[in-house]
Amino acid sequence: MENQLNTENQSTEKQISFESVSFIGRISYGIMCEKEYLLQGYPYKDWAIILEVFCKITDLELELWDDWMDETIEIIPQYLFKFDNYKSSDFEFLTEDKYNTLKKFYGNINEDVNIFLKMVYDLANSHAYSSIKGKGEESLRQLREITTFLEEKEILLPDIEKVQTHLFSDKNGWGNPFDGTNLSKIIKKY
């Protein structure tokens, strides 16, 4: 019972500390969680091919987010495997070479990877096409799902201090774009 209370208190503390973090900072934290999950679950894979695409959102102006969403959805296994081959797809961003590389890359992973990548993608979409109301409760909820997922897998959460400088008070909660590649040592500059 005491452990349950501690876990609940930790989750509440995390939620409160994210309220002052901008939406783009919350997405960045989600990507940091994604990196931790992928590296812990599949340390032998080079996840840069995935994380580079996800990290692009951190330095985009809002009017370019649609392209990011379209490019990112194409690399999520659920959508990638919808098609038997590249020629039958309608990919806008994914080249045939990258399609074939990703099909092989995802060949021996479990469904959790798909679920988790989709969770981070959904976080980035949580305020799409709307203004952020209140403290951005929808992105806080999405981020809480991501951190809970990691906690259930007993994966240590990334340090929130890396995103706390991205303030919710900037640009009506959206925050200012920044180079998110410095959040991960495995991502090369794109």
140-163 pLDDT, tens per residue?
A: 999 999 999 999 999 999 988 889
Question: In which band, very low, low, confident or very high, does the pLDDT at 50 lie, cut at 50, 70 and 90?
Answer: very high
Domain spans of the chain? 2-183
Cα–Cα distance for residue pair 52/189, rounded to 1 Å: 8
SS3 21: strand
Over residues 13-42, the mean pLDDT reads 87
Q: Has residue 37 got a pLDDT over 80?
A: yes
Q: Has residue 40 got a pLDDT over 60?
A: yes
pLDDT of the residue at 62 = 65
Cα–Cα distance for residue pair 52/48, rounded to 1 Å: 6
Give the Å distances, CA to CA, from 127 to 33, 74, 91, 137, 150: 19, 20, 24, 10, 23
pLDDT of the residue at 91 = 94
Q: Has residue 2 got a pLDDT over 50?
A: no
Q: How many CB atoms lie within 10 A of CB 5?
A: 9
Answer with the residue of higher pLDDT: 6 or 81.
81
pLDDT of the residue at 190 = 34
% of the chain surpassing 70 pLDDT: 87
Q: What is the mean pLDDT of the chain?
A: 85
pLDDT tens, position by position, 84-139: 899 999 899 999 999 999 999 998 899 999 999 999 999 999 988 788 999 999 99
Provide the 8-state DSSP code for 56.
G
Cβ neighbours of residue 153 under 8 Å, at least 6 residues apart?
Answer: 37, 40, 41
Among residues 2, 20, 112, the alpha carbon closest in space to that of 10 is found at 2
